[in-house]
Amino acid sequence: MLWRFLHRQRRDSWNNLDARRGSRSLQIVLWTIWSLVVIGVGFFNWYADVIANRPINILGLVIDCVVAGLIGLVVMTVIEMHLEPWRFMDDD
């Protein structure tokens, strides 16, 4: 009897998992935009150094890309929380 109960709970949890996954296309779009923004920030900083005939500041380039990436991750999380809130809920 306990075995059937546990098996049924496990089966129900797997069924709910598929329903709560959401759309993969939203994640693909958000990650693509995030990647393009980070690459764009890096290109913009590199291009500014090249146009001004300055030596390329690698440390500044890395810091700017990391900051843009972190801000982008926060923005992506907020967008996902508004568009797919069921993915961030607990099962308590």
| 41, pLDDT greater than 60 | yes
CA distances from 44 to 8, 26, 47, 65, 85 (A): 56, 27, 5, 10, 34
pTM, two decimal places: 0.69
Domain boundaries, the chain: 21-88
Do residues 50 and 56 touch, judged by C-beta distance below 8 A? yes
Q: pLDDT value at position 3?
A: 58
Q: What is the mean pLDDT of residues 48-58?
A: 94
Q: Determine the average pLDDT of the residues in 27-34.
A: 94
Give the model confidence (pLDDT) of 70-84 as tens digits. 999 999 999 998 988
pLDDT of 11 higher than 90: no
Q: Is residue 61 over pLDDT 70?
A: yes
